[in-house]
Structure 1
Amino acid sequence: MPRETLTREQIVTAAVAVLDAEGVAGLNVRRLGGRLGVASTAMYYYVKNKDELVTLAADLVWREIELPDPAVTEWRSAAAGLAREVYAMVGRHFWLLPAMSTHLIYGPGKARFDECCLAVFEDAGFTGPHADHAAATVLMYVIGAAHGSAAERAWQARMRRAGVDEDAGQAEVLAYITETAQQFPRLRARLETSAPNSIETLPADTGFEFGLRTVLDGLKARLDHEK
């Protein structure tokens, strides 16, 4: 693809595809140029380095979130919808969480989300910094809830890069997890009543919904107390 027909958006979109498959460690600006059919030097005409590319890709995926209209949506429904959107988005892009721990992720995509969150919580009755804190509380819960699934997918990407058979690797990890859990009575009891087939530690979606309701209940109680 000649440089004249290449766009920065195409590069960032292609980077997201690589990140979805291989994670941050698997992204290489020069290799991405080869994938797009351009010389490695041409890539640096659009992005300064890998760090900038990761930051741009991370902001791009935030644009996938469907935003509610706070003017016509009850605040709890709007907040829950945003939380579910972020949870699903992180599920599609497991690399986002580790990227957020090493890169300052901000741009139009993330700002669009933040603006909507503030509108939701301000309409609910939170004022000033309390609206910021409420939005951050929900987001931190979602990030924590999504961590287990993201960690599993990151592990799978490492196995692929290393050429390790995923089934064999997963069986080994599961055996270790099971052996360790057997030493603790409550964990052992849960193993005996379930048949885990994944290294994922994230609760099922019912667990996510339980936690989300609990967080929103707490925020509503705070609102009611301050009235």
Structure 2
Amino acid sequence: MTEQALSVWTRQKRGREQPALSREQIVAEAIKLLDADGLDTLSMRNLGKQLGAGATSLYRHVANKDELIELVVDEIYGEIEVPEAGAASWRASTTVCASSVRAMILRHPWVASVLGQIGTSYLGPNVMRLSDRMLALFEEGGFGLEEANLGLSTVLSYVIGWGINEAAWMTSLARSGLTEREWSARMEPAAREAARSYPRLNRLYEMAALTSGEETRQDEFTYGLDRILDGLEKRP
């Protein structure tokens, strides 16, 4: 009995590839489907139709949908910008990278529902490249390798957690067919009524009315990232 591979990154490629269809084509088309319609509509059958091929043709390259998800997640990680070590200060370069991770998640909001399910994503070549280059940034900032790994994990945990929540909100907003301003306008009367007995929340709602949703989200993301970087800079 053939032992089942635990991940697309641990499975040996088949000797013969179908020349009319490549893994790269499959991954690119899968990302298009996911961006357009979300995770629920992705299936090997639907993907095969988009590519003009039968589902069996896809199985020459990926064993199942789980492997396909591993591939598409690694592909979009390749979009993340990581400055070369020494191109700017450690903090500035880390901020660029963190902002790029957030932007990637917002471009592909479906990824919010799969990141926690892919325990082997760290084996993908783009994730490996991202991790190694970010470790180099931390080393440039005076971190030893082990501490650089801890610092990197802390930053990415914050950014990915923030991005997942933000992507979930943007997905819900898109389903409603409303803009953020329209949503806020509709919800404001109910929110103010609910907060009437809570003075601090009431003041926050009044302050929030002065800014747009996008501006607020950006400011809150930047605040959290800056406080994490402050702590890392002041480490003993």
| Equivalent in the alignment of 2:78 | 63
1:49-198 paired onto structure 2 within 5 Å: 49-104=64-119, 105-106=121-122, 107-155=124-172, 159=175, 166-167=177-178, 174=187, 178=191, 181=195, 184-195=198-209
Counterpart Cα distance in 1 of 2:140 and 2:188? 50
Residue 60 of structure 2 corresponds to 45
Instruction: Report if the CA contact (8 A) 1:149-1:201 is conserved.
Output: no
Summarize the Cα distance change of 1:145–1:202 in structure 2 as closer, same or farther, 3 Å threshold. Answer: farther
TM-score of the superposition, structure 2-length normalised? 0.78
**Percent identity of equivalent pairs:** 36
Unaligned runs of 5+ residues in structure 2 are 1-17
Give me the whole-angstrom Cα distance separating, in 1, the residues matched to 2:142 and 2:220. Answer: 28
The number of aligned residues is 213
Asked whether the 8 Å contact 1:94–1:154 carries over to 2, the reply is yes
CA contact (8 A) 1:146 1:202 kept: no
- Name the CA distance, whole Å, in 1 between partners of 2:198 and 2:64: 47
Check the 8 A contact 1:18/1:27 in 2, yes or no.
yes
CA shift for structure 1 position 181 = 4.9
Tell me if the contact between 1:24 and 1:54 (Cα under 8 Å) persists in the aligned partners: no
Residue-by-residue CA offset, 1:15-42 (whole Å, 9 max, x unaligned): 1111122222221111111011111221
TM-score normalised per structure 1: 0.81
Larger relative contact order (CA 8 Å, sep ≥ 6):
1
Alpha carbons of structure 1 residues 197 and 44: separation in structure 2 relative to 1, 3 Å:
farther
Contact 2:82 2:134 in 1 (8 A): no
Distance 2:190 2:215 in 1: 14
Distance 1:83 1:37 in 2: 38
CA-atom RMSD, angstroms? 2.9
Residues 183, 155 of structure 1: alpha-carbon distance in 2 compared, 3 angstrom cutoff = farther
Provide the C-alpha distance between the structure 2 equivalents of 1:64 and 1:109, rounded to a whole number of angstroms.
Answer: 9
Q: What's the counterpart of residue 162 of structure 1?
A: none
> Is the partner of 1:6 in helix, strand or coil?
coil
Kept after mapping to 1: 8 A contact 2:135/2:145:
no
